[in-house]
Amino acid sequence: MSDNILVVDDLHVSFSSSRGNIQAVRGVSVSIRRGESIGVVGESGSGKTVLSRGIMGLLTQNATRTGSVEFAGHDLSSLTRDELRTHWGTGMAMIFQDPMTSLNPVRRIGSQIMEGLTVRLGMSKEQAKSRAVELLERVRIPDPYAALRKYPGQLSGGMRQRVMIAIAVACTPELLFADEPTTALDVTVQAQVLELLDELRAESNMSMVLVTHDLGVVAGHTDRILVMYAGQVVEAAPTGELFANMKMPYTEALLKSIPRMDLPSGQKIPVIAGRLPDPTQPEPGCAFAPRCQYATDKCRTEQPPLVDMGNGHQYRCFFPIGGGR
C-alpha cells in the first residue's frame, strides 16, 4: 500500500459566470502521506477552499474540474457526484468554515451527528445515539446528553465548532479537511480546537489539511505548508524549513502581517498593498508582481516556474529571498 493517502496532479478548477470564466485553482499538484498534516495558507480568494472542495468533489454545477485526484488508491477524477459520495464521511470529511451556516438551525444537534452514523455506517438509532454521546464527550462538550437535544443557536461559537468536528470525525475518516476551523473564535478557544484536532489525528493516524489565512495557526500544527496565491501554489516546504528559509516575497508579506505581542503599542500592523488579481483575466508574468516590492520587468512579463530546491522546498519566484537580489 502506498504511503500517500492522496495524490493530486495538475488540478484546475474554474467556474462559469456572467463576468467570464473564473479560474480559482490553476495547476496545483500535491501529495499527502498517511497521518500527515498539511497547512494551506493564503489570503481570502487565493483558492484554498476551492482546492479542498475540488479534491472532494464538493463543487457547484457551474464548476469545471480537470487534472487527476487519487485517494487511497482510487482514481476520483472521473467519478460522478453520487459515486464520490461513497468516499465522503468514511474516506474524506470536511469541517466547514462557518458552523452557524453549516449546521441546520432547525434540527437538534443529536440528529445531525447521528445522520452520518446511520447512513454511512448502518448503525441503529440507539447505537448512533450512544456513539453521538461518545463523540460529544470526546470533543469536550459539557453534559453531552443535554447537548444532543439542543439546537445550534443554543450553543456558543466554540461549542458549535466542536459539534462540527464531532460530525466530521464521526465515521473515522482517513483524510480530514479543516476549512478555517478557528475563524471568529477567541484565542483561547482557537488553541483548544487546534489541540483537539491534533489529538484526534494522532489517535487514528488520520491525515489532515488545515486551511487558513494565518501562518501563525499552522506553525505548530502541521508537518508541511502550502502557500497559495491567485489559485497557484507559490511556495511549499516542511513547516520548520518554511519559517527558517522562506523564499517567496508573498510568504514573507503574510508572515509580517501577523499581529505580534512584541510590537510597540500603537504601531500599525504591516499590510499587503493592493489586491488579488482578477481571476477572470489572468495577466502574463508573476501574479504577485503588481504587489511585490521586489518585482522587475521580467516578473511582469514572464511566468516564474515552481523551482524545487531538492529538500521538499519549492517556490515560484525569479528573485527569491536570500537569493542575492
Query: Mind listing the pLDDT tens digit for each residue in 39-64?
Result: 999 999 999 999 999 999 999 999 99
> For residue 153, is it left (φ>0), alpha (ψ between -120 and 50) or beta?
alpha
Model confidence pLDDT, tens digit, residues 141-185: 999 999 999 999 999 888 998 999 999 999 999 999 999 888 767
Task: With a cut of 70, say whether residue 325 has pLDDT above it.
Answer: no
pLDDT band, very low/low/confident/very high, at 75 (cuts 50, 70, 90):
very high
Percentage of the chain beyond pLDDT 70 is 97
Give the dihedral sign, CA 88/90/95/101: positive
CB 314, CB 236: distance < 8 Å: yes
- Separation between Cα atoms, residue 316 and residue 325, nearest integer Å: 15
Residue-level pLDDT at 261: 66
* Percent residues over pLDDT 90 in the chain: 71
3-state helix, strand, coil in the chain (%, to 5): 35, 25, 45
- Does the pTM surpass 0.85? The reply is yes
234-293 pLDDT, tens digit per residue, is 999 999 999 999 999 999 999 888 776 676 777 777 788 889 999 998 888 999 999 998
Domains, the chain, with CATH or none: 4-91+171-254 (3.40.50.300)
What's the grid cell of residue 229? Answer: 496565491
